[in-house]
Amino acid sequence: MLVAGDLLIFSMFFIVLLSYRNQEAALFAVSQRSLDQRYGAFNTLLMLSSSLCVALGMKGIRQPGGPSPRTRLYFMSAAVLGVGFVIVKSFEWAARIAMGQTINSNDFFMFYFMYTGIHLLHVLVGLAVLTVLCVVGGRERVEPGTVRLAEAGGIYWHLVDLLWIILFALLYLLK
Amino acid sequence: MRSRESPHPVSTWLLLLAATACSLVIGEALVVPLGRYAGAVVIAIAFLKVRWVGLDFMELRRAPRPLRRMFEAWSLLICATLIVLYLT
């Protein structure tokens, strides 16, 4: 339900962004060109790879003999990649702010900082979830109830990845 | 009949990387020949990636069919809405 609610809210965000874009197409185009796509592309690589690690970790949690040593390693790798995302995002924001582009600059940058900021909050919550998954992944046996909780945690992280995929396209790639 | 078996996560990841690379190329190099349709293709590729994350990483392929159908319907609806908004 949380995932569905989040998807609905972000759907509204995406629709509002493109609606505003239609009204100020030239401003959005110029502002968007000042974004460095390399940050966005690298963050996409980090997010997709992190999701891969979570998917591999979940296989380990569910396997009949219980988690293997690699299971915990997968979740730790996912967390490291997630921290990498936060660091890259911080550098990107710092670069924008150094160029005088802030949330108050214009509508494009209002959306850029607001949406990537809300997404970043989701990432931070996700890092806490990944920490729990690291603990679960380090156990010898995982009870069925804990498996289901772990699955919910994994799905949350994939949601964070999914939202970034759309944000990357709408904020960085549309001309 | 839709498959309920997901490919190995690494295969999905490789597809996602390839799709990301395609959208980077289309968003940059093909804007002139494709015009505004380049953006529509970029949005479509993004939702293709969303579908792969949902069906394979989130394992909706193995989930109860109503849940999978809702996800696919949402993906299609939002993708179409965003493409129409972008093109108009």
| pLDDT confidence band for A171 (50 / 70 / 90) | very high
What is the separation of C-alpha A44 from the centre of its chain, rounded to a whole number of angstroms? 8
pLDDT > 60? residue B1:
no
CA atoms within 13 A on the CB side of A124: 9
The whole-number pLDDT of residue A84 equals: 98
Q: Give the pLDDT confidence score for residue B2 in this predicted structure.
A: 54
Q: Which contiguous run of DSSP H or E holds residue A2?
A: helix A2-23
Number of residues that make up chain A: 175
Residue of A nearest to B76 (CA): A11
Opening angle at CA A102, ends A97 and A107, nearest 5: 145
pLDDT value, residue A172: 95
> What value does the mean pLDDT take over residues A53-70?
93
How far does the CA of residue A139 sit from the closest CA of chain B (Å)?
22
**A173 and B27: CB-CB below 8 Å?**
yes
Q: pLDDT digits over A111-158, tens only?
A: 999 999 999 999 999 999 999 999 999 998 899 999 999 999 999 999
Q: Which chain B residue lies closest to A4 (C-alpha atoms)? A: B71
Give the mean pLDDT of B5-17: 93
Nearest to A48 among B17, B38, B70 (CB): B17
Alpha helices for chain B (secondary structure H)? 9-28, 31-34, 37-52, 65-87
Q: How far apart are CA B60 and CA B53, in angstroms?
A: 9
DSSP character at residue B35? T
Give the tens place of pLDDT for each residue, B16-72: 999 999 999 998 887 778 888 999 999 999 999 999 999 999 999 999 999 999 999
Q: Does A33 touch chain B (CB under 8 A)?
A: no
Minimal C-alpha gap between A46 and chain B (Å):
11
Nearest C-alpha of chain A: how many angstroms from B34?
11
Output the CA–CA distances (angstroms, integers) from residue A47 to A87, A164, A174, in the order listed: 13, 8, 20
Query: In chain B, which residues have their Cβ closer than 8 Å to the Cβ of A48?
Result: 13, 16-17, 20
Mean pLDDT in residue range B2-22: 89
